Amino acid sequence: MKKNILFAALSIAVAVVSCKKDDATTPVSTTITSTQTLKVKYTTGSNSLFRFKDSTIVASSEITTTNWDFGFIHENYVPSMIVNSHISGPGSAGVIVLPSLYDGVATAPSSGYAYDTTINQRAVKAADWYTYNPQTHLPQLVTPRTFVFKAADGIHYAKVELLNVGYVNLVPAGGTMLPDSLTYKFRYSYQANGSTTF
């Protein structure tokens, strides 16, 4: 009887240790990866905002909060990428534009981030990511480009690749046809634990 009790106790102990070993060797993924699309009306002042940590499209009315990281805005019909800092918002978001393939960017740089200091001095300049096509009224993406973002909290990092810019409906405007809205499709990876490694 004592032998049976001792054997049962040893079996439980081995099972517990085995479970702990399995738990210790199972990595917990902290990287969020997703493909998203933002839609922006083609009228001056229209914007679309995005938060990396939970893949959320944030209401335009929250542009004066730290609830978003980056987005797009149309100023005098010119598309601009914006980050939540300085003139664009109260956050600490910044960005570095790399002439690199998305899959080749494995680490966020430790310094060198640009910020939206003024309306005329955005962190990302138009020439960094597109050329304008007057026939289609669409930005033509410059490739390769990978955008490494510091989030609005100043702690977390994400890398972004723009995949496509399209338009929704053409409407008459001043004797020409202009898009009603532009759509920006992108993929991104966000490091939820604050690491700089993607």
Q: Summarize pLDDT for 145-189 with one digit per residue, the tens.
A: 999 999 999 999 999 999 999 998 888 877 778 889 999 999 999
Q: Summarize pLDDT for 55-101 with one digit per residue, the tens.
A: 999 999 999 999 999 999 998 778 999 999 999 999 999 999 999 99
The pLDDT, as a whole number, for residue 177 is 80
Residue 105 · residue 159 · CB < 8 Å: yes
Q: How confident is the model at residue 18 (pLDDT cuts 50, 70, 90)?
A: very low
The pLDDT, as a whole number, for residue 28 is 52
Q: What is the DSSP letter of 92?
A: B
SS3 125: coil
Phi-psi region of 43 (alpha: psi -120 to 50; beta: other; left: phi over 0): beta
Q: Alpha-carbon distance 141 to 59, whole Å? A: 26
Q: Summarize pLDDT for 138-156 with one digit per residue, the tens.
A: 889 999 999 999 999 999 9
In order of 33, 63, 95, the CA distances from 53 in angstroms are 10, 17, 16
